[in-house]
Copies of this chain bind each other. A is one copy, B any other.
Amino acid sequence: MRTSSQLAPSVVGLPFFDGRISPAPTGRNSGLESLDTIGAVQSVRAGCELYAEGDAAASWYRVNSGILRTYKLLPDGRRQIDEFLFPGDYFGLESGADHDFATEAVTAATVIRYSRARLGSLVSEDAHLSAQLLQVTLGRLNKAHGRMLLLGRKNAGEKLASFLLEMLDRSSGRNTIDLAMSRTDIADYLGLTIETVSRTFPLLKQEGVVELPNAHHVVVIDRQALEDLTGDE
């Protein structure tokens, strides 16, 4: 199935290098938008795996709808979630032949799949596209640095506060967060246990920074206070 190429261009408008990128060399559509013509839509049921760590990385993806998680496992089952993916996010591009993390759907989701082979040939021709891919990847790397700081140096309260702000900024609502993921997912994202996550939520409530109507709903009462609790700045 072909995409209809009307997805929100979430990357457009990002600072791009230092602005010196010249327009596309040819008259045809260039940049990430040009990918829409080679993408195919795929559905993933909630909880199902799109690909496993070590699978051949034959495709690159973009989230169309729903939420997914990427993660790595240790042999004894310990899991680290690298990121939650939201509509518009690109993922699955690899430096090597295989995926170095697995991807599963948190909620029912649809993704757009781009053939890596075709992407490769496009990239070799189109500096503009290539540079945009670089931009997306560099943004992802920035985020990874922030997450290393969180995982290595923040305590449980700071981790949860940081997480809620991240989710708030990706939410549609201005001060309400819909947590699509389980406590287990949150724990594995923050390097904690579910029990610690469960115990830390009420602490934020006690501080008066959030309300907790139920386990998957958070209302941010005082955003500034929440930011103060993240440890940064």
The chain A residues found within 8 Å of chain B, CB to CB, are: 14-15, 17-22, 72, 74-76, 78-80, 82, 93-97, 100-101, 116-117, 119-121, 123-128, 130-131, 133-135, 137-142, 144-149, 151-154, 188, 190-191, 231-233
Contacts and interface: CB of A to CB of B under 8 A. Distances in A.
B120 A231 contact: no
A146 B96 CA distance: 14
A231 B117 CA distance: 34
A130 B134 contact: yes
A82 B22 CA distance: 33
A179 to B, nearest CB: 19
22 contacts: A14-B95, A18-B117, A20-B120, A20-B124, A21-B124, A22-B124, A72-B146, A74-B232, A76-B231, A78-B154, A82-B148, A93-B138, A100-B145, A100-B146, A101-B145, A123-B130, A123-B134, A127-B127, A130-B130, A134-B134, A137-B141, A144-B145
B149 A100 contact: no
A8 to B, nearest CB: 19
A130 to B, nearest CB: 4
Nearest to A139: B95
Nearest to A189: B152
Given A124-B21, A131-B130, A149-B80, A142 B191 contact: no
A125 B75 contact: no
A142 B95 contact: yes
Shortest beta-carbon contacts, A-B, top 7:
A152-B191, A95-B138, A144-B144, A151-B151, A20-B120, A130-B130, A17-B120
A85 to B, nearest CB: 14
